């Protein structure tokens, strides 16, 4: 019986971590891959990796958060590379199809949120990624550096220019 109770505690603790981080990781993965279905695959892979590494006592923390976001980043980039390598023809076909709903991190339907989501979707993936981490996930430059592998100074530089691009795009939209 003892082993069964331990498995149940482990499963409950793991589910709590999944519940705590799932929506944030989906939002982040979507900002990188720009496709909600692929983002779900990425996050599923991240949680599978976490489960394989699972130890007693894991709970939401800054260290676990950084590991999850960094692993999400790596899995998303790997998926993009794999997708581009294997599906160049399919990708051209998909570009002809209507696009999925624009990325909207806050899930809001008001006009301002739609304008921001549209302008954000028009930015390069790296700029989108850093803005999502800073603005929507409220990560520090140091945490963003840890997640993306960029230096703290580089994060600040890129984020500054990304925010200017976003402001310019919003200004052009009126």
pLDDT per residue as tens, the chain (174 positions): 577 887 788 788 888 889 999 999 999 999 998 888 999 999 999 999 998 887 766 677 788 889 999 999 999 988 888 867 765 555 554 555 545 445 544 444 467 777 888 888 888 888 888 888 888 888 888 888 888 888 988 888 888 888 888 888 888 765
69: buried, middle or exposed (CB in 10 Å: 19+, 13-18, 0-12)? buried
The structural domains of the chain, ordered by start, are 1-99 (1.10.1740), 101-174 (1.10.10.10)
């Amino acid at each position: 019986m003892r082993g069964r109770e331990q498995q149940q505690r482990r499963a409950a603790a793991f589910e709590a971590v999944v519940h705590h981080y799932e929506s944030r990781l989906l939002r982040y993965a979507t900002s990188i891959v720009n496709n909600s279905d692929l983002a779900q695959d990425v996050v599923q892979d991240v949680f599978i990796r976490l489960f394989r590494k699972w130890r007693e006592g894991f709970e939401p923390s800054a260290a676990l958060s950084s590991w999850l976001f960094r692993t999400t980043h790596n899995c998303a980039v790997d998926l993009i590379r794999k997708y581009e390598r294997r599906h160049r023809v399919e990708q051209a076909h998909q570009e002809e199809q209507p696009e999925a709903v624009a990325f909207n991190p806050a899930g809001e339907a008001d006009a301002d949120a739609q304008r921001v989501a549209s302008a954000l979707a028009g930015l390069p993936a790296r700029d989108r990624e850093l803005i999502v981490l800073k603005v929507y996930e409220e990560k520090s430059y140091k945490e963003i550096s840890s997640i993306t592998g960029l230096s703290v100074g580089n994060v600040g530089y890129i984020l500054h220019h990304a925010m200017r691009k976003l402001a310019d795009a919003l200004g052009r939209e009126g």
